[in-house]
Structure 1
Amino acid sequence: MSTIRLGTRRSALATTQSTWVADRLRAAGHDVELVLVTTDGDRDQRTALRQLGGTGVFVSALRSALHEGRIDAAVHSLKDLPTAPAEGLALGAIPVREDPRDALVARDGMTLGELPPGAVIGTGSPRRQAQLLALGLGHRVSDLRGNVDTRLAAVTEGRLDGVVLALAGLRRLGRDDQVTEILDPIQVLPAPGQGALAVEIRADDRTLREAVAALDDPDTRACVTAERSLLAALEAGCSAPVGALADVVIGDDRDELSLRGAVVAVDGSDEIRRSLTGPLDAPERLGAALAALLLEDGAGALVPDLAPPTSPTGGSTTRTTATPLGA
């Protein structure tokens, strides 16, 4: 086939991720050209993401370029993608996932437990802000935007006591040596899809679909599908204070999916964490079932914009643990 025009955001992290995808396509014998696209989220580095519109703020320009034929495929951080399907587009590949956990970079090599009450921690994520406050350690949170190096500089220059970022991004950029603590998901549950990449293509491009399919990792796709299904069933955007993490686990007869979810009040005053286990080949049903459980147990009262409770789909296929995670 002709040269694959691979669309990417302009940030250092985005181009690093897209180069990783491009290198694997080249290794498979394809010619690849990176095409830089500026998104709304890149143009405005000051406004909080929830004020910019949250869901899709880093995505719409890339999708427009795909629809208009200016690029053949787009590389996204999967956690930035809206859960609703995009007309005429498809996820051609979800490559193997990097570590999905969050990471703290703090002054003087400190961990969360070592930072004193009143310490200020920066993050642009309402999910991270809510969960940090819910820990009850007396820390304050500060809204923070900008690329990875800009955020890290806020600590080294003394403007903040610490910042929380995705460990995956730090590793891809070779900045993980600055991490002072990898946050346990029992404390801070990652965003749905965090650590995973998505290669989006036009749905009718069969040739390109075959080319990128070799990058797809079935276990990663199953895990992130369950996480995103939970988010979709809650009718919450990617900037909502919702965490989710799925893992492939050994079941009695075959591998299964274990899914954890959390909904946290924005001010950290309350949270609901639940988990379910279900078949590996039914990730959508597992995510929807866990969302229903969270809503039945009061998640809607913590974040009023969430969907009303519904009965879990295929409830007989899941085993429910209705106790808080880590209890």
Structure 2
Amino acid sequence: MDPVGAPLLRLGTRGSALALAQSGMVARQLAELAAGSGDERVPGVELVRIKTEGDVNQGPLAQIGGTGVFVGAVRTALADGRVDVVVHSYKDLPTAPADGIVVGAVPVREDPADVLCARDGLTVAGLPTGARVGTGSPRRSAQLRALRPDVEVVPVRGNVDTRLRLVTDGHLDAVVLAASGLARLDRSAAITERLRPEDMLPACGQGALAVECRTVDRQTAWYAGALNALDDPATRAAADAERSLLAAVEAGCVAPVGAHATVDGATLRLTAAVFSADGQEQVRGSVTGPLVDAVALGVELAEDLLTRGAGRLLAAPR
């Protein structure tokens, strides 16, 4: 409790600009929801910065353990009781559950699309032959090669501003980034083209946030009601469908798998594809069903893709 009796919420986060922006947004929302109407004791929030393996090791994600390397240290701090909740980009979370930890809330999703940020306002179609386009994602790389096999895909790591500087400084002609991250950092002006899911399927869970807490606190902690209020059922269902597909095809977070779920009332539609590394082969499909069956729909589509050869693409050397 703080000196005037208001509770204090300790929120664990990575220290990157995007992680802090996302965590700060969630912190404000939770504090307002926990305060309740007419309650003057607005809870305080402390952002606790946690350094992860992915922040320290700048090697390719596929070689150092996938995007799960951004999660381990944050989850350890939560399990140890050093923080009360943690905020992740949902696409960074491994699909396997963590003992004693649960996703307490999935806020309303930001735009899940990938976008091109290019010099001179260029679009994918307008890039010159041999243009150098940066991305650290095998999924984006494969789809970009399918769209434009004549461009050079350059592996890059680093935060959003670092990647954008590669374009403004002339080292690259363009980079492919997530629309959601740019929006949360107020960098959407850098976008030169929003890529349609038909051309580039996003990562499973892209644009969504996952607020994790300890399982024992999910219903009993003073902030449990705020988590319930922050949770958006449509966003959670869409993320559940996409992530259950990813788990069922037994692919990691950095595998060349894209998925996009949309919700219309009580109906969910899921489209997904698995790509070869060079983008020249893909197995794509869609499924539609009740929103309450989101997880089962993801599994159903995964089984369909595997039956039609997706496993062979995932098993191919990269």
- Normalised to the residue count of structure 1, the TM-score between the two structures is 0.90
Mapped contact 2:116–2:124 kept (Cα < 8 A): yes
Q: Distance in 2 between matches of 1:53 and 1:244?
A: 21
Q: Secondary structure at the match of 1:266?
A: coil
Q: Distance in 2 between matches of 1:265 and 1:226?
A: 22
Q: Distance in 2 between matches of 1:279 and 1:211?
A: 27
User: Per-residue displacement from partner, 1:19-58 (whole Å, max 9, x unpaired)?
Assistant: 00011112122321110111111112x3111011004110
Match 2:201 to one of 189, 194, 198: 189
Mapped contact 2:11–2:47 kept (Cα < 8 A): yes
Q: Distance in 1 between matches of 2:185 and 2:108?
A: 17
Paired AA for residue 22 in structure 2: Q
Which residue of structure 2 lines up, in the alignment, with residue 71 of structure 1?
A: 83
User: Per-residue displacement from partner, 1:290-318 (whole Å, max 9, x unpaired)?
Assistant: 0001011111121117xxxxxxxxxxxxx
Unpaired runs of 5+ in structure 1?
306-327
Q: Distance in 1 between matches of 2:282 and 2:296?
A: 23
Which residue of structure 1 lines up, in the alignment, with residue 47 of structure 2?
A: 34
Q: Distance in 1 between matches of 2:67 and 2:25?
A: 25
Mapped contact 2:54–2:67 kept (Cα < 8 A): no
Unpaired runs of 5+ in structure 2?
1-5, 36-42
Q: Distance in 1 between matches of 2:210 and 2:295?
A: 17
Q: Distance in 2 between matches of 1:280 and 1:135?
A: 32
1:219 and 2:234 matched: yes
Q: Distance in 1 between matches of 2:14 and 2:185?
A: 15
Which residue of structure 2 lines up, in the alignment, with residue 25 of structure 1?
A: 30
Mapped contact 1:201–1:209 kept (Cα < 8 A): no
RMSD of aligned C-alpha atoms? 1.3
Match 1:158 to one of 170, 176, 189: 170
Q: Secondary structure at the match of 2:69?
A: coil
Q: Distance in 1 between matches of 2:14 and 2:148?
A: 36
Q: Distance in 1 between matches of 2:140 and 2:116?
A: 11
1:99-178 matches, cutoff 5 A: 99-178=111-190
- Normalised to the residue count of structure 2, the TM-score between the two structures is 0.92
User: Per-residue displacement from partner, 1:267-306 (whole Å, max 9, x unpaired)?
Assistant: 212111110001100111000000001011111121117x
Which residue of structure 1 lines up, in the alignment, with residue 94 of structure 2?
A: 82
Match 1:272 to one of 283, 297, 300: 283
Which residue of structure 2 lines up, in the alignment, with residue 232 of structure 1?
A: 247
Q: Distance in 1 between matches of 2:32 and 2:312?
A: 50
Paired AA for residue 242 in structure 2: E
Match 1:13 to one of 6, 9, 18: 18
Paired AA for residue 155 in structure 1: V
Moved more, 67-76 or 28-37: 28-37
Q: Distance in 2 between matches of 1:266 and 1:223?
A: 26
Paired AA for residue 44 in structure 2: D
Q: Secondary structure at the match of 2:264?
A: strand
1:249 and 2:252 matched: no
Moved more, 270-279 or 25-34: 25-34
Which residue of structure 2 lines up, in the alignment, with residue 293 of structure 1?
A: 304
Q: Secondary structure at the match of 1:63?
A: helix
Which residue of structure 2 lines up, in the alignment, with residue 310 of structure 1?
A: none
Q: Distance in 2 between matches of 1:147 and 1:188?
A: 21
Paired AA for residue 48 in structure 2: V
Q: Distance in 2 between matches of 1:67 and 1:249?
A: 36
Mapped contact 1:117–1:137 kept (Cα < 8 A): no
Q: Distance in 2 between matches of 1:18 and 1:116?
A: 39
Mapped contact 1:124–1:145 kept (Cα < 8 A): yes
Match 1:43 to one of 49, 53, 56: 56
Mapped contact 2:124–2:148 kept (Cα < 8 A): no
User: Per-residue displacement from partner, 1:66-95 (whole Å, max 9, x unpaired)?
Assistant: 111111110000000001111100000000
Q: Distance in 1 between matches of 2:75 and 2:224?
A: 16
